Structure 1
Amino acid sequence: MAQVKIYGFFESLKPIQKQFSDILHSCLMDSLKLPEDKRFHRFIYMEKDDFIYPDDRSERYTIIEISMFEGRSEEVKKKLIRLIFERTQAIGFEVSDIEITIFETLKSNWGIRGIPGDELTLNYKVNL
């Protein structure tokens, strides 16, 4: 399981929202081995007055927060980060305009489909 929040300016992200989501999901599938149908992305559009960031970032500055079950190796998480930096360049993002945070939580701290996450039967592996 992985859920993604994407924070950025409406003007920068909305026109490419589908492409951005497709790229992110390809990174999640290739690194975390998520199935194609496990896409959980939320775009959160910020107003200029509410999104404060350093002057060395552009109007495309975007924060990506990924919440996932614990169990992935450091190597797998680093692969995910590198893929996101690499692939978002294809749609005009500089590496300085992307920041990524990964939050891992116990499966038992998730509630999905009416049960705790540690009781789920998944069709993919988490311990990679």
Structure 2
Amino acid sequence: MAQVKVFGLKESLNSIKGRFSEIIHSCVVEAFIFPLDKKFHRFFPMDKEDFYYAPGRTEAYTIIEISIFEGRSLDSKKQLIRLLFERIQSELSISPEDIEITILETPKSNWGIRGLPGDELQLNYNVNV
């Protein structure tokens, strides 16, 4: 499982949400050998008065939070981060200085999905990649 939250200024984020979602999903699919049909993204376009960030960032500054079941290797998580930086820059022209990524890992038992604790689900993909 992977749940993705994307935060940014609404003036910058709203017009690219669809393409941004496609890019994020392609990276997750590649790095985690993730099923194509498992896409769970939420966008949080924010007003300027609600989104503070450090000097040196532009109005394209974006935060990506990815919640996943624990089990992915260090290499697959680093690959995901590298792919995101690379594709977001090449396809959306957003500098890596304007992107921050956090991967939050939790045990499957801490998830509730389709009426079951996550560790009781029958998954059609491998988490240990």
TM-score (norm 1): 0.98
SS in 1 for 2:66: strand
Indicate the residue corresponding to 2:122 in structure 1: 121
Q: How far does the alpha carbon of each residue in 1:40-59 deviate from its partner, in whole angstroms, 9 at most, with x for none?
A: 00001111111111120010
Q: Map of 1:42-121 to 2, 5 A cutoff?
A: 42-89=42-89, 90-121=91-122
**Which runs of 5 or more structure 2 residues have no equivalent in the other structure?**
none
Query: Sequence identity of aligned pairs in percent?
Result: 61
Indicate the residue corresponding to 1:21 in structure 2: 21
Q: How far does the alpha carbon of each residue in 1:98-127 deviate from its partner, in whole angstroms, 9 at most, with x for none?
A: 000000000000000000000001111001
Q: How far apart, CA to CA, are the structure 2 residues paired with 1:109 and 1:91?
A: 34
Indicate the residue corresponding to 1:35 in structure 2: 35
Task: Extract structure 1 runs of 4+ deviating beyond 6 A.
Answer: none
Aligned-pair CA distance for 1:13:
1.1
CA-atom RMSD in angstroms: 0.6
Q: How far apart, CA to CA, are the structure 2 residues paired with 1:21 and 1:69?
A: 20
Aligned-pair CA distance for 1:69:
0.0
Q: How many residues align?
A: 128
Q: How far apart, CA to CA, are the structure 2 residues paired with 1:37 and 1:12?
A: 27
Aligned-pair CA distance for 1:10:
1.0
